[in-house]
A and B are shown apart, each in its own frame.
Chain A
Amino acid sequence: MHWFSAKRTIKLGVKSLWMHRLRSTLTMLGMVFGVCSVIAMLAIGEGASREAQEAIARLGSTNLIIETVKPPNEQANSSKANTMRKYGLTYADAESIRNTIPSVQVIVPVREIDQEARYLNRKVPIKLIGTIPWYTEVSPVRLIRGRFLSSVDLQYQLAVCVIEDQVARKLFAFDDPLGMDVRIYGNYYRVVGIVARLTTGQTADSFASEIAAVNGNGGGGVIGNVYIPLTTARKRFTEVKVSFGGGSENIEKVELQKIVVKVDSTEQVLPMRNILNTLLGRIHDKQDYNIVVPLELLRQAARTKQIFSIVLGSIAAISLLVGGIGIMNIMLATVSERTREIGIRRALGARKWDIIVQFLSETLLLTLAGGVLGIILGALIPFLVTYFGHMPTVITPSSLILAFGISAVVGITFGIYPAYRAANMDPIESLRHE
């Protein structure tokens, strides 16, 4: 086909679609909504999954996080009032992991205490984190000013602290926090550094908020973290916690809330989990710990995303099928309405192929125009969802290409039969048709 005959075919197609504006528009709508839903759904799905994946990735894909969990209440234990329950991770655990597993690159014990930080007459609820200088290697904190905890701080149990920027803002407002003293539980700590935690933006789904909880972000009204040397925390804060509930006094003793273990590469993560399980299983007689593997969460997220994509893809495919059938229906009606025109064209020298090209190009124009409108609308919807629904959405270029490709395929698939019908009409019969 020469270029000018292609141009002519397109012009003719546009013209005859324009002749029946309402019909063309209505037919196109099926396509528009189909393509639009594909793009919108993929964008929302991609946004949710990317957010979850980023949240997990921030935990570090080469990290293993061992957390203290409260073991299920044993009957014998709970009946005995005023008995101290001791559970969870201990300094000894951290010590034996370091001593027995050489492939551990970094090991960071973490102690978490809910406290209040005071400065002048201001006070904010914070999470006090007792840890060691290598904390920064396993956790997504970024130093803004000053320094993080040092080994000297640790060795001499110094009363220094590193505060998070949101704590700094609340507590000091316009003052410079560096070098100031913050009062926590009756003791003063000198502020030596300010850090920012790379937080997840909007925790849209439960998955992300679960991750946030693992990050030490949960809990009632806590503004942010304040880091102090682990040794200082051990000396100044008791590990015993007394609470009243169930008609009796509960006394609990927990040494460490977390131990974060970092390995060299992602391949070592899963073997390391087994090693840790074996080791801790030997030391602990209760299941009072839990090993969180971000890498595994990441893989789960990928699997979830895959299922999500399949489901969305099926829905979109069905809506496109419906749109395609609508188009075929209209094109069949158009063909029979234009029987006489087909007869005239055939008499004037049009081959069957010319007729096929004419009708197929009309269908294609219809679906591609529908596809383009659908893409525009489909790109707009995620934008609105993000703006009003505060949910992250990501429109990937591949989804646009996919949607456009699908509309072309639908056009050809559902255009072939009507075009074939048109081409195979008997010219004599068609000329006689009223």
Chain B
Amino acid sequence: MAVVHIEKLCKTYQLGPVQLPALRDVDLEIEQGQYIAIMGPSGSGKSTLLNLLGCLDRPTSGRYWLGGKDVSTLDDNHLSLIRGKRIGFIFQSYNLIGQLNVIENIKLPMSYQGFSEERSIERAGKLATMVGLGNRFKHRPRELSGGQQQRVAIARALANDPVIILADEPTGNLDSESGAEILSILDDLHQRGKTLIIVTHDEHIGTRAERTIHLLDGRIERVEYNHRR
């Protein structure tokens, strides 16, 4: 079964008396290990889809199976658990916690899953080394460059070995050089069999993905398949 399976997903926002449909009847299937880009102009429903995929929100109607489990009707507690266990988030503005150092930031998702301190630290250290921050364990986010901060965020996203990794404009705040570095780390993850879903404006990223989904007005406008390499 597909890692992500979405059927007729709808999300409608209620703004006073006005109903604002953000997503209309979206069907989507993502297999294990795929690299997906979601593109579209602002207001097309990218963020809404990302929030739903990330279990931060619940659909108005439709079904969503994540790793074979129907998560469209779960309560807040279970959604929190699913987010921690099965989803890794990478944000445009990194979203690291300023008062925690690199290792503490990376092990944060593990602490909510009840891992022991020693095991979390060990794993966080491995992940930090993997993304090239082997000598910066004790640094605070503000002592790191943007590219380094985003690497911490990537390591954090991998902490609980999630089913999917969701990245929201991961290179949006970075210069082109650091951006390229981040993209190559993501490529690397893809090579290792991780399922990546990236929301972006950047056509370059679009071409790196195996499949690019173009959204417009809350619907899937078209799907591009890039047969690379």
Q: Is A384 an interface residue (CB 8 A)?
A: no
State whether B95 touches A340 (Cβ < 8 A): yes
State whether B112 touches A350 (Cβ < 8 A): yes
A427 to B52, CA, bound (A): 12
Interface stretch, picked from A189-197, A255-263, A341-349, is: A341-349
Chain B residues, CB < 8 A from A348? 83-84, 89, 108-109, 112, 156
A19 to B142, CA, bound (A): 15
Q: Is A85 an interface residue (CB 8 A)?
A: no
A19 to B98, CA, bound (A): 10
CB proximity to A under 8 Å, residues B99-114:
99, 108-109, 111-114
State whether B83 touches A349 (Cβ < 8 A): yes
State whether A349 touches B84 (Cβ < 8 A): yes
> In whole Å, how far is A194's beta carbon from the nearest beta carbon of chain B?
73
A4 to B121, CA, bound (A): 13
Q: Is B135 an interface residue (CB 8 A)?
A: no
State whether B114 touches A347 (Cβ < 8 A): no
State whether A344 touches B95 (Cβ < 8 A): yes
Chain A residues, CB < 8 A from B80? 346, 349-352, 354
Residue of B nearest to A347 (CB): B89
Chain A interface: which size bin? 20 to 34
CB proximity to B under 8 Å, residues A331-376:
340-341, 343-354
* Known contacts A347-B56, A349-B112, A352-B76; A4/B81 CB under 8 A: no
Residue of A nearest to B160 (CB): A349
Residue of A nearest to B168 (CB): A431
Residue of B nearest to A348 (CB): B109
A5 to B117, CA, bound (A): 8
Chain A residues, CB < 8 A from B77? 351-353
Q: Is B14 an interface residue (CB 8 A)?
A: no
Chain A residues, CB < 8 A from B116? 4
Residue of B nearest to A15 (CB): B99
State whether A5 touches B56 (Cβ < 8 A): no
State whether B117 touches A8 (Cβ < 8 A): yes
Q: Is B91 an interface residue (CB 8 A)?
A: yes
Query: Could you pull out 25 A-B pairs where Cβ atoms are within 8 angstroms?
Result: A2-B114, A4-B116, A4-B117, A7-B117, A15-B99, A16-B99, A19-B99, A344-B95, A344-B96, A344-B97, A346-B80, A348-B89, A348-B109, A348-B112, A349-B85, A350-B84, A351-B77, A351-B112, A352-B77, A352-B80, A353-B77, A354-B112, A427-B56, A428-B57, A431-B91
- Apart from A354-B80, A428-B57, what 13 extra A-B contacts exist at CB < 8 Å? A2-B114, A5-B111, A8-B117, A344-B97, A345-B112, A346-B56, A347-B56, A347-B83, A347-B89, A349-B81, A349-B85, A351-B80, A431-B56
Residues of A within 8 A of B (CB): 2, 4-5, 7-8, 15-16, 19, 340-341, 343-354, 427-428, 431
Residues of B within 8 A of A (CB): 51, 54, 56-57, 76-77, 80-81, 83-85, 89, 91, 95-97, 99, 108-109, 111-114, 116-117, 156, 160
The 9 closest A-B pairs by CB, nearest first: A349-B84, A349-B112, A351-B80, A348-B109, A344-B95, A349-B83, A350-B112, A427-B56, A428-B56
